[in-house]
Amino acid sequence: MSEAPHIPVLLDEVIEALAPAPGDLIVDATFGAGGYTRRLLDAGATVHAFDRDPDAIAAGSEWPETREAPPRLVLHPRRFSEMVAALAEAGISRVDGVAMDIGVSSMQLDKPSRGFAFAADGPLDMRMGQAGPSAADFVNTAPEGEIADVLFRFGEERQSRRVARAIVAARPLSTTGELAHTVRRALGYRQGAPKDPATRTFQAIRIHVNGELEELEAGLFAAETLLKSGGRLAVVSFHSLEDRIVKQFLRDASGAAASVSRHLPQAASQSAPTFARIGKAIRPGAAEVARNPRSRSATLRAATRTDAPPRERKAA
């Protein structure tokens, strides 16, 4: 596993944003196949890598850096929202950088048995951590209204009620092919159309099953807690729902939200900025998209931690 079985997205740009140096301690919050971790290790950094997927952790455990003394690669089979507690258990309270590559990995998408995609038929699963309620459990037991809400909120499916009605009528559903067929039939899909309408439903159910947006928000606040002054955060997102959360987080953290007008006084209760944003959002160039079509929708946002104390996360 010294070579990742997929192409890391915006790899050079992420590494440039993190600026790793020998001896740095960096968190790879979404290890996957280890594309970012490989480059961070090559730069001389020590990496604490998180992944809730047992397959990713098993593959990473074969890397020689896990057996160095002390190890330069430490794997955590946990959600990245738990990084503060996990590193505290390892005696670590501050790090130099945090990388986050949000969403489903290529290995999960390309393995029919994981049930994330409909390119090939497989069990309707979609669980990143391979535990807990599956996508099949959700579509076969949830009320029609709840399914419609999930499709609208997480898939931005305008005809969510129609699709939810079709899903309930087609129960029980046990495979990705059955779900895709049900959605296509409900929306009048024609073979050869530029985008399969089932894509939005699969995205929505996957996000719901894995609690991805809540996990992202919690992970961003965890990174704010862990990063030392001058530490760097680099986040790659793949759709508007994710990017909106990252953008809003950095806007609030940098104080931009409190500075709507230079003619208005800053609110006295506004805390000091905890991050300074690094440049503008970065998207893949034409060459990278041609090399890796899955990078097309990616957006990188990066920021540097200030010396202000971390903010208290508001209850949802």
Q: What is the pLDDT of residues 260-296, one digit of tens each?
A: 444 555 444 467 999 999 999 999 999 999 998 889 9
Average pLDDT, the chain: 92
Closest CA relative to residue 37, chosen from 200, 193, 234: 234
Crossing angle of helices 212-226/240-253, nearest 10°? 30
For the stretch 47-80, pLDDT in tens is: 999 999 999 999 999 999 999 999 999 999 999 9
Closest CA relative to residue 41, chosen from 59, 60, 56, 54: 60
For the stretch 84-104, pLDDT in tens is: 999 999 999 999 999 999 978
Domains within the chain, CATH numbers bracketed: 11-106+212-305 (3.40.50.150), 113-210 (1.10.150.170)
**Alpha helices, DSSP H, located in 28-159:** 35-42, 54-60, 83-89, 106-109, 135-141, 144-155
| Among the ranges given (33-37, 45-49, 104-108), the one the predictor scored with the smallest mean pLDDT | 104-108
Cα–Cα dist 125/114, whole Å:
6
CA dihedral 69, 56, 287, 200 (to 10 degrees): -150
In degrees and rounded to multiples of 5, residue 151 shows phi and psi of: -65, -40
Cβ neighbours of residue 61 under 8 Å, at least 6 residues apart? 75
**What would the mean pLDDT of 165-181 be, rounded to a whole number?**
97
Q: What is the pTM of this model?
A: 0.91
Cα–Cα dist 95/68, whole Å:
20
Query: Which secondary structure element, helix H or strand E, spans residue 47, and what is its range?
Result: strand 46-50
